[in-house]
Structure 1
Amino acid sequence: MRSLLMVSAGVAMLGLTAPAAAQNMPAPMHMMPHDGTLLTVVAEGRTTRTPDLATIRAGVTTQAATAAEALAQNSTRMERVLAALRRAGVAERDIQTASIQLNPQYRYQENEPPVITGYQAVNMVSVRFRDVAKSGSILDVLVREGANNINGPSLSLDDPAAALDEARRDAVARAAARAQLYASAAGLSVDRIVSISETMEGAGPQPPMMVSARAQSESADTAIVPGEQDVTVTLTFRFLLK
C-alpha cells in the first residue's frame, strides 16, 4: 500500500494511507506510483543580476484657459522632449506613448454648480534606457527641455533567460538535497522524481521610484544606481521514496 509524505512550509506529514493521499493529492490515479511513498518538496532557486534596463515615464503637463491652447502648448513642449531623447541616442523602438489626457479644471463653491476655469493637458511617454548609467543624465536634459512629469525608473533585465536557468538549477539542487534528507530521516531512499512544476518570480521590473521634476532641475547629474536584483524560480517536486 502506498503512502504520502508531503513537505510544505517546513511541515512533514508521514504515514498517510492511500485514501488520505487521494484526498490531499488530486492528481489522476493513473499518475500515482503503484508502491512507495510520495514526498512533495517546494524549493526556491535564486540568483542575482545587475539590472541592465531602466524604464521611465516622462512627459509634459500644461494648463491653459481653453482646451485647444492647453493641447497646443503641450504639443510644442512634448516635441522638444522627444527631440532631446532622440539626440541622446534613445532608439525609436524604446520610445512609446503611454497616455494622453485632456481634463477640465473646475472651481467649486458652496451651493453653486462647478465652473470650468481652464484645461489641463498631459502627454506621457514610456522610455527604455539600455544604458542605465546614462539614464539619470538624460532625465536632467529632459527637464531642461520642458518635461515636468517623471515617474520611475523601473529596473529590470533585458534578457533574463540565463539568470532564470541558473535559478532553476539552484532549485533542483535544493530540492534534491531536501528529498535526500527526508528520505534518510524516514529510513527510505529516493527512487525518482514523479513530477515538477514551476512558478517564476523576480524576473520582471522592480517597483518604480518616484522622481520629481523639481529635484531633477536642481540636480547637476541625477544618479540612478542599479544595484542587484533577485531572480527567483519556485519549483514543486514530487519524489517517489522506497
Structure 2
Amino acid sequence: MKKSIFFLICLFTVMAHSQEIKPIPQISVTGEGKVKIAPDQVLILATVETKGTNAKDVKKQNDQQMEAVLKLVKSMDLAPTDYKTKRVSLNPQYDYEKKKSSYNATQTVEILLKDLSKYDELMEGLVDKGINRIDNVTFQSSKLAQFQSEARKLAMKEAKIKAEDYVSVLGQKVGAAITIADNSQTYYPQPVYAMRAMKTESMNDAAPRETMAAGEIEITANVSVSFKLD
C-alpha cells in the first residue's frame, strides 16, 4: 500500500512539473552553400593488358610494358608517393567454341599528377610505353578540405538569413542556434575522360593539342538549423 501511494505521489509530481515546462519558441530552416573551384591536380588510373596462349610469356610481356611505364613516370619527376600499382592479375580464359585456352594479364597503376601542364605529355607517354587502357581520369583539388569548410560556412549564413527573413514580419529576433544537422553528402570527385588519349595516323604531331577540359569542381554543403526566437 505504501508503495502504491509513493508511486502516485511521484506520478503527480512529474505531471505537475511537465505542465510547467513551456515550449521554446524556435524556427527550423535549411541552408545550402556552394563553392566552385578550378582543379589543380588529376588522378589517372591506367592499365597494361596483355593476352596470349602461354601464361609465362603473357606475364613477362606485361611486366616489361609496366616497367617501361614506371620508368616514364619516374622521369617526369613525380614523387614516389604520387604513383602506385593498384591491381595485378593473371587469369586463364577458355574459348568453348575453339576449345582453346588463353591467358589475360593486367596491371593497373594509379598516378596523381600535380602539374596539369604535363597532362598531355604524360598521357601520350603512357600509351607509347604500353598502356592500352585508360580506366578513368579524375580532376581534383589539393585544397578540398579548405573549400569544404567555406561551403559549410556559406550554408550556415544562408540558414540564418532565411530565419531572419521569416521572423522579420513577426517583430521577433533570431537567437542562438538550438540544433544543427549536417545534411551534406560525401564529396566524390567525378571522373572526366580525356577527349583524346591515343595517337592516330592523321594527327599532326607538330600541331599544338589540347586533350582535356578540366572544367570546375562544385562543392556543396547542406545544413538544417533550429534557432531560438527572442
RMSD (CA atoms): 2.3
For residues 87 and 152 of structure 1, what CA distance do their matches in structure 2 show?
A: 22
Could you tell me which runs of 5 or more consecutive residues in structure 1 were left unpaired when the two chains were aligned: 1-32
Q: Tell me the secondary structure at the aligned position of residue 177 of structure 1.
A: helix
Matched pairs, number? 204
1:231 is matched by which residue type in structure 2? I
Query: 2:99 matched to 1:120?
Result: no
- CA deviation string 1:26-81 (max 9, x = no partner): xxxxxxx9543232212111111111121111121001111111101100111001
Could you tell me which runs of 5 or more consecutive residues in structure 2 were left unpaired when the two chains were aligned: 1-20
TM-score, L = length of structure 2 = 0.79
Q: Percent identity?
A: 27
For residues 67 and 129 of structure 1, what CA distance do their matches in structure 2 show?
A: 33
Q: Aligned residue for 1:86?
A: 74
Q: Could you tell me whether the CA contact under 8 Å between 2:46 and 2:135 is conserved in 1?
A: yes
For residues 139 and 222 of structure 1, what CA distance do their matches in structure 2 show?
A: 12
Larger relative strand fraction: 1
1:206 Cα deviation from its structure 2 partner: 1.6
Q: Could you tell me whether the CA contact under 8 Å between 2:65 and 2:130 is conserved in 1?
A: yes
1:99 Cα deviation from its structure 2 partner: 0.8
Closer, same or farther: CA 240–116 of 1 in aligned 2, 3 Å? farther
Q: Which has the larger radius of gyration?
A: 2
Q: Aligned residue for 2:147?
A: 163
2:79 is matched by which residue type in structure 1? A
Q: Tell me the secondary structure at the aligned position of residue 45 of structure 1.
A: strand
For residues 80 and 210 of structure 2, what CA distance do their matches in structure 1 show?
A: 23
For residues 226 and 232 of structure 1, what CA distance do their matches in structure 2 show?
A: 19
Q: Aligned residue for 1:229?
A: 217
Larger relative helix fraction: 2
Query: 2:96 matched to 1:108?
Result: yes
Query: 2:147 matched to 1:147?
Result: no
2:47 is matched by which residue type in structure 1? G
